[in-house]
Amino acid sequence: MTRILCLALGYAIGLIQTAYIVGKLFYRGIDIRDYGSGNAGTTNTLRVLGFKAGAAVFLCDVLKAVLAYTLCSLIFGGGGSFLGDSSIVPGLYGGIGAVLGHSFPFYLKFKGGKGIASTLGIIICIDFRIMLILFSIGIIIVIFTRYISAAALTITLLLPIAVFSFGYGYEAAILGAVVTVMSWYLHRGNIKRIIEGKENKFSFKKQL
């Protein structure tokens, strides 16, 4: 029951669709899902609306997962970067719920973002050491390839390995693997484009 409650709380927080809200309120009422890749997330917002909008969406989407993780940990005795050394499992369930809410919002016909910013929020909360390692790897990949999707896929692939390597146990590692599977599923189109050499490269230039 605790796990279900954490997922439900996280999902409710993840339903705050920042990219959709920013487009509707500050950019002539556009629906970000009608432009670019069609995703309501940071990368598409950067491409379509530019750096300021993308940065705002990124920060808010990270904070959604941080909030979900932290609340579930505080309520159910969890731990992590901000909360000491007790189990990270409650927070992970909350964070995964936030990613699900972000990616599959029921009121937008389950069409949201790909959840990478929120996944980064989860990583921040788990362990600063894991955060520094995975973020550094991701930044290096973006610098050399300019593929944000490649960096995201690599970070999520390494997440369960890092969680287990730092001694957080089997359930935490399995939950990390759940994050990996969700991310790779949501990025299946990106994977195909990377293989075909057609993936869009990162740029600060906006389309609108």
Q: Where are the alpha helices (DSSP H) in 104-169?
A: 116-126, 128-145, 148-165
Region for residue 193 given its phi and psi (left: phi exceeds 0; alpha: psi -120 to 50; beta: otherwise): alpha
Output the CA torsion 130→155→90→70 (10° steps). Answer: 70
Q: In angstroms, what is the C-alpha Rg of the chain?
A: 16
Q: Residue 76: what pLDDT? A: 92
pLDDT for the residue 36: 86
Is 70 exceeded by the pLDDT of residue 206?
Answer: no
Is a pLDDT exceeding 80 seen at residue 196? yes
For residue range 48-93, list pLDDT tens digits in order.
998 899 999 999 999 999 999 999 999 998 999 888 878 999 999 9
Q: Across residues 168-195, what is the average pLDDT?
A: 94
Residue 197: count of CB within 10 angstroms of its CB: 6
Token output for 192:
């195909």
Predicted confidence (pLDDT) per residue in 114-134, tens digit? 999 999 999 999 999 999 999
> Which residue type does 207 have?
Q
Per-chain mean pLDDT for the chain: 92
In the numeric block, which tokens belong to residue 22? Answer: 């920013």
